Amino acid sequence: MITAASNARIKRLIQLNQKARLRREEDVFVAEGVRMFLEAPPEKIKEVYVSEHFLERCSCRGRLEETGYEVVADSLFEKISDTCTPQGILCVMGQSHYNIEETLTKKAPLLLALENIQDPGNLGTMLRTGEGAGVDGVLLSSDTADLYNPKVIRSTMGSIFRVPFFRTKEFGKTLEKIRQSGVRICAAHLQGSREYTKEDYRGGTVFVIGNEGNGLTKETAELADVCVRIPMEGQVESLNAAVSSALLLYEAKRQRGEMGR
């Protein structure tokens, strides 16, 4: 059992939770909670840590025996946890790396492109919503929040393990590449020329969502084949970025479902 706060592994786990740079250097991230542990691909699990109390009452001992684990004193586990009420288990996972070219070879791919999304909860929710709507991949601009931030990981509710994602330093050029593969660029914009339900998303489509406060940059908006808007009532100017992405993705899902009937 690890009982000392000075233990090198304890210090490293705290740093992995806090520093994106260290996560990138080691090509790992921390996933916390029973659900995340049970849904994690076994080949990606590198280390597992459980608290004393968790080990006494856990119902997943068989899986723990398969992966191996380290026991951490309850008082120490609170230090390595990123939550206010730790469940008592976390694992260090290998990061995933996807090839966007493979995704673009699919028939009529459905993609979500995110420019400068900053709220971890929004980002994680978008990934989770994307999985629910059948998205084939998520493109992230380099200034979007770190997808491996612990708050993002929790918000994905396991979708981080299943939805392909691609971070790019050249967001505009990557969108152009997507367009050249036959995918139509639809940007969510307050001044969109068309209501979002009036467009056809049955072909290859990428929805582009901008920053929570400022929306899309002018340069990105100008790349779009069409800018769509979500109609508003009352004095509401815009919706939460994650809510907007959900409406767009599920409209595409609805249209594609009707196409298959």
Quick: pLDDT tens for 244-253.
999 999 999 9
Q: How far is CA 174 from CA 21, 61, 115, in A?
A: 24, 45, 12
Q: How far apart are CA 105 and CA 92, in angstroms?
A: 32
DSSP states of the chain: -B--TT-HHHHHHHHHHH-HHHHHHHTEEEEESHHHHHHS-GGGEEEEEEEHHHHHH-S-HHHHHHH--EEE-HHHHHHH-SSSS--SEEEEEEPP---HHHHHTSSS-EEEEESS---HHHHHHHHHHHHHHT-SEEEEETTSPPTTSHHHHHHHTTGGGTS-EEEES-HHHHHHHHHHTTPEEEEE-TT-SEEGGGS--SSSEEEEE-BTTTBS-HHHHHH-SEEEE----TT-----HHHHHHHHHHHHHHHHHHHT-
Does position 261 have pLDDT exceeding 50, yes or no?
A: no
pTM of the model: 0.92
- What confidence tens digit (pLDDT) does each residue in 139-178 have? 999 999 999 999 999 999 999 999 999 999 999 999 999 9
Domains identified in the chain and CATH numbers:
8-94 (3.30.1330.30), 100-259 (3.40.1280.10)
pLDDT more than 70, % of the chain: 98
Mean pLDDT in residue range 132-142: 97
Could you read off the pLDDT of 75-123 as tens digits, one per residue? 999 999 999 899 999 999 999 999 999 999 999 999 999 999 999 999 9
